[in-house]
Amino acid sequence: MIATLLQYDFIRNTFIVGLVIGVIAPLLGSFIVVRKLSLMADALSHVTLGGIAVSLFLSKTYLPLASLNPLYLGFGFSVVGSLLMEKLRTVYKHFEELAIPIIMSAGMGFSVIFISLANGFNTDLFSYLFGSVSAVSRTDMITIVVTAVIVFIVILALYKELFLLSFDEEYAKVSGLKAKVFDIIFMVLVALVIASSMRIVGILLVSSLMTLPVAAAIRIAKGFKQTILLSILFGEIAVIGGLFTAYYLNLAPGGAIVIISVLILIITILFQKIRQKIIISNRGEENGTYSN
């Protein structure tokens, strides 16, 4: 069944992109959750939507830009939004969380304006909002895979610095680490991953793929590295399961991926509770044995 399904080019493109996104989104999401910046992904996804809306408007208004790939402006807006967010965090030193709703509001404002100028929603925009099994072209695949490889290499190269900044930013600064530089790099990486993921998960749901697998992994992991590995495993299960479900049931893949992620989270929560009860029960039996 899988071999038959993968004989189509667009399906192969989608699954390759899905497998790649299933790795880098939870990988970067692990740092986002630890740094308590989960809502940042939502804000940047709205900025990315603004870039997509502007691109669709330009392609309809100016014929020379009709072949413009919306993915490129999505990348551009997302990166600029991430840099502006980092700048606002320094402006509002004691209220850093304000940067997130400010950027989110600006992104939504751009989106609404240019969606209305482009005569409302259309099929292309819906595929960006909620993901699509058939919308990933070969050009999209190559662009996303190259971007993902770059992000992965940077994360591996700067793992120690990002780890230190995530868990003890003050110590990192005192030890001489240029926190501002690494914060900017981190924000750009997040922007690139969000823009890359929108083809599969959809702009409105992309933050879920960066946080839900991590939330599930945290419940059962015994360390940060294990959290990363488990979140990637859960992310891949959600993406592959979601794409198959979306294809055979004719659903938006973003919704299917998110629901599977939620189910994984529920299972891990129940698993942890059952494990805790077993541990408590075993301790009670041991205490009873020792008392006898």
d(CA 32, CA 162) in angstroms, rounded, equals 10
Answer yes or no: is pLDDT of 64 > 70.
Answer: yes
Q: Are 55 and 122 in contact (CB under 8 A)?
A: no
The model's pLDDT over 133-190, given as tens digits with 9 standing for 90+, comes to 666 788 888 888 898 999 999 999 999 988 888 887 777 778 778 888 888 898 899 8
3-42 confidence digits (pLDDT tens):
555 666 777 888 888 889 999 999 999 999 988 888 888 8
Residue 236: pLDDT band by 50, 70, 90 thresholds?
Answer: very high
d(C-alpha 110, C-alpha 164), whole Å: 36
Quick: pLDDT tens for 254-280.
889 999 999 999 999 999 888 888 878
pLDDT tier, 206 (very low <50, low <70, confident <90, very high otherwise)? confident
Are the C-beta atoms of 257 and 200 separated by less than 8 Å?
Answer: yes
- Per residue in 32-49, pLDDT (tens digit) is 998 888 888 888 888 988
**CATH 1.10.3470.10, applies to 1-283:** yes
C-alpha distances in Å from residue 171, one per residue of 161, 187, 192 = 11, 20, 28
Helix (H) / strand (E) containing 10: helix 9-34
Q: What is this structure's pTM?
A: 0.84
Rounded to the nearest 10 degrees, the angle between the axes of helix 159-167 and helix 179-201 is 100
Best CA proximity match to 207, nearest among 18, 32, 23: 32
Per-residue confidence (pLDDT) for residue 180, from 0 to 100: 83
- Tokens representing residue 194 in the block: 């969000």
Model pLDDT for residues 80-139, shown as the tens digit of each residue: 999 998 888 888 877 777 888 899 898 888 888 888 887 665 656 777 777 776 667 888
Q: Which residues contact 75 (CB under 8 A, 6 or more apart)?
A: 51, 147, 191, 192, 195
